[in-house]
Amino acid sequence: MGFLDILRGKRELKQPAPDRLFAMSTAYVKLEMELHLTSTGKAAIVFQPLATADFEQLVRDMEEIVRSTGSENEGSVKSSDDEHGYRWMIITDRDFEDLVVGVNAVSNEIQGGGYGDRILAAVFAFRDEKDRPLYWIYNYKRGAFYPFVPSGGGQQRDNERELRLKAQIGQDLPVEPELERWFPLWGIPI
Amino acid sequence: MPRPTSFGKDTGLQIRMTVTMFLLGLVYVALVVALLAAGANGVTVAIIAGGLAALNLFASDKLALAAMGARVVTPQEAPQLHAMVERLCVQADLPKPKVAVANTRMPNAFALGRSPKSATVCATTGIMELLTPAELEGVMAHELTHVANRDVLVMTLAGFFATIAAYIVQFGFFFGGGAMGGDDDDNPSFFVLLLVSLVVYVVSFLLMQALSRYREFAADRGAAIITGRPSALASALTKIASGMNRIPQKDLRAAGELQAFFIFPAAKGSISGLFATHPPMEKRIAALQRLEAQLQGQIAA
């Protein structure tokens, strides 16, 4: 935000950054081969549903589109609202490449409807070799990924593991440089 | 085809804010001229006031938190509040501020800190009990907009020369009298400075209050944009306002100094609108309702 914007107290929501979502499809090879993380076959996109008629129409259309594209690979999509009033579109597909494509289709649809600023994040769920859950979260406004490893019980996260993941993935994924923006998402429904 | 943003422009508010800042600047130029004309004394006062303002900017958040009886809480202590603030931060593209809770029945919330990185947002236990999650989200978004707009910094800087003027008026006798030395008793330039300072003090005070009100409107608007739910904030304001009236006067006076960045100022009987730091609630709710109508596509943006 520029100096003038601060002076004028202007607030406009930041639109999504240039899309780097597809970096995940290429990074997946490394995640799987070297880091031994496997996809659970699920990804989700979380956004703020607006209580307006055209937004609700948009969401209905979107579910329709994802459902029709996903069916080729036995993929599925379902949506649920969380306790904070955000909506999750959960995409299931055994092929990781299709998962990324599915997430991209949803976000494109929302952006095409002019509500790109309402998208919070995309989440890809993984399991490590000990079958512990681990997530890579893509922040649309920053155009960057960050790891999120819940370590069970009372909103604890395994920061050490997260920092190690950042070092391990290196240049293969655009990782959020500012640690204070590694926002956790508790109760991820995937 | 991308559709236009959901909310219209706030040209009227922007114009009023710009005019106010311009007038403040104009008043301050007069003061600076008078300070320079007064020579060494004037400059000394300016430096002292500058130091105090800097101190205020860098140390005030901890003092203010302590004064409110507020405590920074960990995510484990207040998981819901933290999760709410985190999501709003993603949406507003802000780094996460510290989250504090003040243990008081008074329903209120405020933001502190000169920059987004050093900011703290605080909610009272009273407001968390009173409001539904959606309403509380609107209130926290309002505070986060204060953080994003750097309102603490803007108002401290805007008030910088007003503070100098206030010091000169208050300590005018010290500087005008003994310190000047024997034979130079009625120093005319300093008398002028005192007079200018007095005028600057009064005028800038009124302008500052106006500026503060405009920044409240801007923060309400920002909150509506971040959450996409103007009506939730409007409903929160109604609840807080009726809640505030039931609180004993003693609590309110204890909170007097901190009011600037509260979501809602403690009621103090009848204050004329000119002297209020916050706009009247009806106007804030009317503005939020306009935003809701724009969002629903009822008014052309």
Give the pTM. 0.81
Spatial CB neighbours of A66, under 8 Å, sequence gap ≥ 6: A77, A89, A91, A102, A105, A106, A109
Task: Confirm or reject contact between A118 and chain B (CB < 8 A).
Answer: yes
> Tens digit of pLDDT for each residue in B142-164?
999 999 888 888 888 888 777 77
Q: Could you tell me the strand order of the sheet in which B70-72 lies?
A: B70-72, B98-102, B120-124, B109-112
Which domain, by its residues, includes A20? Answer: 13-174
B81: confidence class by pLDDT, cuts 50, 70, 90: very high
Q: Could you tell me the strand order of the sheet in which A144-148 lies?
A: A76-81, A87-92, A38-47, A119-127, A133-139, A144-148
DSSP conformation class of A170: G
Do the Cβ atoms of B90 and A183 come within 8 Å?
A: yes
In a domain, B46, yes or no: yes
Which domain, by its residues, includes B168? Answer: 12-295
User: In chain A, which residues have their Cβ closer than 8 Å to the Cβ of B219?
Assistant: 9
Instruction: Give chain B's domain count.
Output: 1
In a domain, B75, yes or no: yes
In a domain, B3, yes or no: no
In a domain, B249, yes or no: yes
In a domain, A17, yes or no: yes
**Identity (one letter) of the amino acid at B216?**
E
B187: confidence class by pLDDT, cuts 50, 70, 90: low
* Interface pTM, i.e. ipTM: 0.81
Instruction: Give chain A's domain count.
Output: 1
The CATH number linked to A40 is: 3.30.70
Q: How far is Cα A83 from Cα B121, in angstroms, rounded to an integer?
A: 22
The percent of residues in chain B predicted with pLDDT above 90, rounded, is: 20
In a domain, B300, yes or no: no
pLDDT score for A18? 77
Nearest beta carbon to residue A11 from set B154, B222, B229: B222
- Whether B137 is catalytic is no
Interface with B, mutate which of A1, A3, A4, A11 (most B CBs under 10 A)? A11
In a domain, B6, yes or no: no
What does residue A122 show for φ and ψ, rounded to 5 degrees?
A: -115, 145
State the catalytic residue, choosing from B143, B216, B282, B292.
Answer: B143
**Identity (one letter) of the amino acid at B199?**
V
Is the pLDDT assigned to residue A39 strictly greater than 60? yes
pLDDT score for B3? 42
In a domain, B49, yes or no: yes
